Amino acid sequence: MEKVTLTINGNQVQVPSNYTVLEAAKEAGIDIPTLCYLKDINEVGACRVCLVEVEGARSLQASCVLPVSEGMVVRTNTKKVRETVKNVVELILANHNRECLTCFRNKNCELQTLTEELGIEDIPYQGEKRPGTVDDKSHSIVRDASKCILCGRCVNVCKNVQGIGILDFTNRGFYTEVAPAFDVSMADAPCIYCGQCIVACPVGALREKTDIERIWDAIDNPDVHVIVQTAPAVRAA
Ligand code: FES
């Protein structure tokens, strides 16, 4: 593969010409924060958390979808980049259900980690929030749209890795949601409950139903056959 040389934060880096700036930075040991990016699965430039400054470009560029080119000069840590990325995360948080203390992803959430790393304590934007539907009808997966950041990671893992494709973007603009088509529940969609969407989700928008919830389901509906799965290693501890 042909190689190109570019400069990132003053360091010369030589990488294959099919690399993105994000991959080149990683090769050079430079960390660029990401949120929607999932290597080879979701490289769509949706969240804009990975913005960098490129000499000669009029605006900041999303490094996860920006191909490298010969002689490119990139800066990842300027005041402009830091302030803009902080602003981007503040805007994502403004429309996010921030009840982190009761969220199952508390302390294991990519958005929460990023918020702490950027030193965000208050959200300056307090506008209307997207109506967040909660779909807990299936026996296995709970989808909480109030926590969804519309990164598309679950959509692409369901469609392109698992080959199922029951999740996609529905509605438009402010009302966009990730859900099965035609507003049906996960219970009525041809979901195989592989759980890969949960693994791909960077926040708490998708989660596995707890055993207690499954038991409540069984009490509410005795016709439903409920399987309570156990995790022996965890249970034994
Ligand atoms: Fe690059 Fe989201 S990580 S745009």
What is the tens place of the pLDDT at every residue in 163-221? 999 999 999 999 999 999 988 999 999 999 999 999 999 999 999 998 898 888 888 77
Q: 35 by DSSP, 3-state: which?
A: coil
Q: Which CATH number fits domain 130-236: 1.10.3720.10, 3.30.470.20, 3.30.70.20, 1.10.10.60?
A: 3.30.70.20
* CA 163/CA 59 separation, integer angstroms: 36
Q: Characterize 160-169 residue by residue with b for buried, 16 or more Cβ atoms within 10 angstroms of its Cβ, and e for exposed.
A: ebbebebbbe
The alpha carbon of 188 is separated from its chain's Cα centroid by a whole number of angstroms, namely 25
37 lines ligand 1 (CB under 6 A): yes
Q: Say what the ipTM of the complex is.
A: 0.98
| Strand-pair partners of 14 | 5
Q: Which atom of ligand 1 is nearest to the CA of 46?
A: 4
Whether pLDDT at 232 is above 60? no
Of 81, 41, 79, nearest to 62 by C-alpha is: 81
* CA 133/CA 183 separation, integer angstroms: 10
* CA 219/CA 7 separation, integer angstroms: 62
What is the tens place of the pLDDT at every residue in 28-51? 999 999 999 999 999 999 999 999
Q: Which CATH architecture has domain 1-128?
A: Roll (3.10)
44 lines ligand 1 (CB under 6 A): no
Averaged pLDDT, 96-112: 95
Q: For residue 97, report the distance from its CA to the centre of ligand 1, in Å.
A: 21
pTM of the model as a whole:
0.89
| Every domain of the chain and the residues it spans | 1-128, 130-236
Q: Characterize 121-146 residue by residue with b for buried, 16 or more Cβ atoms within 10 angstroms of its Cβ, and e for exposed.
A: eebeeeeeebeeeebbebbbbbbbbb
